[in-house]
Chain A
Amino acid sequence: MDLLAFARGPALSFSLAIFVLGVIWRLVGVLALSPWNDLSPPREGAPPNWLSAIQAVFRKMIPHRTFLTAGMFTTANGYVFHIGLAIVVLLFVPHILFIRSLFGVSWPGLPNGVVFGVGALTAASLLAALAYRLTSPVLKLISRPNDYISWLLTFVPVVTGLAAAAHVGARYETLLALHVLSICAFLIWFPFGKLMHAFLFVLSRGATGVRFGHRGAQL
């Protein structure tokens, strides 16, 4: 079996299995803890809990103006690489074909040139995020190895993907294999580190939304 076949075959299956099991393990691990049953009477006219939770998930998409001034870079740059990653992962035609081969579903993609540009922008945005983390005194203090590992395992698939698409640095098959292997590493790490926020954000915002909604307080 050559490297590409290994990457696309056993490596990817193994990584996906770890990803799925790990995500379930972590979610069950927190959700299994007992909730604190709040028996205090809700504020008159308080929305039902599910609605407060949903409202909080959306409310937290954009910071309050007063926090945005200082957090403009973090917020704007965060949007750039999240949207960039979503476009590159979901709208690149070879990705769509690959997903179709796995799950049998597909959708229209964007021209390769556009996706390539978005990929380059995403990589630049990730580099800017790293530079900020390494230079801001607050971020330097609160960052953990988790933050750097998660950054690296997000950045490498983007760069190997760009290299494979541009056919630079090595043979196409080798680049593609490295790209797939880097995604395997991303998937394996995902449940253990902060990449998990892709799931946790709903729970985290929702829980506070419920607490605040019950009290008639604004988030």
Chain B
Amino acid sequence: MTAKTTASGVAYDVQGDRADSERRDAAMQAFVRDFARTAAIHMESCLRCGMCATACQFYVTTGDPKYTPINKLRPFEQAYHRHIGPFAPIYRLFGLKSNVSIEMLQEWEALIYDACSLCGRCTLACPMGIDISELIKEARHGMYKAGLVPDRLELMDRTTKAWGSPASPSDDFADIVRDTGEENGVPVNVDLPKADYVITVAPAELTEHTKALTDIAKILNKIGASWTYSTAGFEASNIGYINGDLDLQEKMTRKIIDNAVAVGAHTLILPECGHAYGAARWEASRWYGKKVPVRVIHMTEFLAEVVNGGKVKLKKFGETTSFHDPCQLVRRGGVKQAPRDVLKALGLELKEFEDHGELGWCCGGGGGVVSNVRADPLRFKAFEIKRKQVEDANTQHFVTACGQCRITLTLGAKHAKWDQKVESLLELVADNLED
């Protein structure tokens, strides 16, 4: 792994020591492989109207046109027209679209990874309905194969391959859960052979937010559910999905689904993590090859289910709150009402941000941006939007339903020397169960 700089002064990381042309070809092949109909339609349809720019936190807070969402796809747009589009033979014959250069890919690494949180806000702004963020995710498949990924993300990739999780070795998982259970005085289940619910985690639960491990345990114990954590399938954040490493994405997907099937679970509960929801709820069947035989739900959906179903009663706050909508859960996941129902059940009066729900602004850290330290300055800039939203709402609480958003927001506040606590919806429920 080496950090380098392009001729125009853009920093990029590179993995492996292959020839440049080999990298370029690997990127193109990976990008064109599995190129499906919707992606092709979207590659054909751009009007070059620029509407997507004003949707993107990175453009809005810097004013730099290079952060225009559709510009982040430029090398891949060229590759599409040269290799896949309906007129590809004509383009090649007349040399109308040159082959993408390695310099271009190097330069675009930062745009594709550092300056895109895959938040999907641009998709909502595009008058043609082009799903730009999905295309950027596909572009990452090519970048990963080219070995042009920010080192920090590649490190997480390698750690996950070795440990089964980017945060801690699989061998330690059961101990972490048991220790946390003891520490918080909550009985926990690990590696039970059979259970109705299997609980999965994301890196946040194994690092900053270990209390979440027992928060969900407390609720499941309260409703008398049969449940377990499993060493064989605990990691749901799926760094492969974020990095563009499809092999790892498949492996991590199969692991949690196969485990849930082996345990005979009817429900797999995903952690408070947005990308886990994208990877497991919407893309798992692609890797599983058929319908996933287990119900896959997000923690927030589970909370809404037990609260709305009257299975748990909650103490009421009688206070005000604002809510940060995690992009993958709400805008790209369709789970908008569930967190609002839970907040209401907690007696928290929700003061919505002006742009909320599907129009909400990203925390700035999705898509691996929060882990990619190189992107810190850009991320802190993007954070200004969220800070303003929270300050304008002026509420007693500020809640979200994604651990990675929470870390991003907490880091942003710390950097801005702004004293603002970010609370977890799961934690609020677990701490306020009526006896």
| Chain A contact residues, CB within 8 Å of chain B | 25-26, 28-31, 33-36, 38-41, 43, 56, 60, 63-64, 66-67, 70-71, 74-75, 78, 133, 136-144, 146-147, 192, 194, 196-197, 200-201, 203-209, 211-212, 215-219
Contact = CB atoms under 8 A, between A and B. Distances in A.
Contacts of A217: 330-334, 336, 358
B46 interface: yes
B227 to A, nearest CB: 21
Nearest to A46: B334
Nearest to B130: A204
B87 A192 contact: yes
A147 B48 CA distance: 7
Given A204-B42, A204-B130, A215-B333, 19 more contacts: A29-B87, A30-B40, A31-B37, A33-B40, A40-B285, A60-B128, A64-B125, A71-B125, A78-B49, A78-B127, A141-B65, A200-B45, A201-B45, A204-B45, A208-B123, A211-B131, A215-B332, A218-B357, A218-B358
Chain B interface secondary structure, helix, strand, loop or mixed? Answer: loop
Interface in B328-367: 330-336, 354-355, 357-359
Contacts of B268: none
Interface of B: 34-38, 40-42, 44-51, 53-55, 59, 65-66, 68, 70-71, 84-87, 123-125, 127-131, 134, 281-286, 290-292, 330-336, 354-355, 357-359
Contacts of B66: 141
A197 B336 contact: no
Contacts, number: 170
A67 B336 CA distance: 20
* From A142, A143, A200, residue with most partner B Cβ within 10 Å: A142
B54 A70 contact: yes
A143 B47 CA distance: 9
B44 A142 contact: no
A66 B123 CA distance: 14
Contact of B129 (A30, A66, A137, A207): A207
A219 B55 CA distance: 14
The 3 closest A-B pairs by CB, nearest first: A29-B86, A216-B334, A205-B129
A60 B129 contact: yes
B27 to A, nearest CB: 20
Contact of A142 (B50, B292, B333): B50
Given A40-B283, A203-B45, A30 B128 contact: no
A40 B292 contact: yes
B291 A41 contact: yes
Nearest to B67: A138
A36 B282 CA distance: 12
A138 B65 contact: yes
A39 B414 CA distance: 42
Contact of A34 (B37, B85, B354): B37
B409 to A, nearest CB: 21
B48 A144 contact: yes
Contacts of B333: 215, 217
27 contacts: A26-B87, A29-B87, A30-B41, A30-B86, A33-B37, A33-B40, A40-B284, A40-B285, A40-B292, A60-B127, A60-B128, A63-B125, A66-B355, A71-B51, A78-B127, A137-B65, A138-B65, A139-B50, A140-B65, A142-B68, A194-B46, A200-B44, A201-B128, A204-B42, A206-B129, A211-B134, A215-B334
* From B59, B66, B86, residue with most partner A Cβ within 10 Å: B86
Given A26-B44, A137-B65, A209 B129 contact: yes
Contacts of A36: 34, 36-38, 286
A91 B315 CA distance: 66
A38 B285 contact: yes
A138 B56 CA distance: 12
B181 to A, nearest CB: 32
Contacts of B334: 43, 212, 215-218
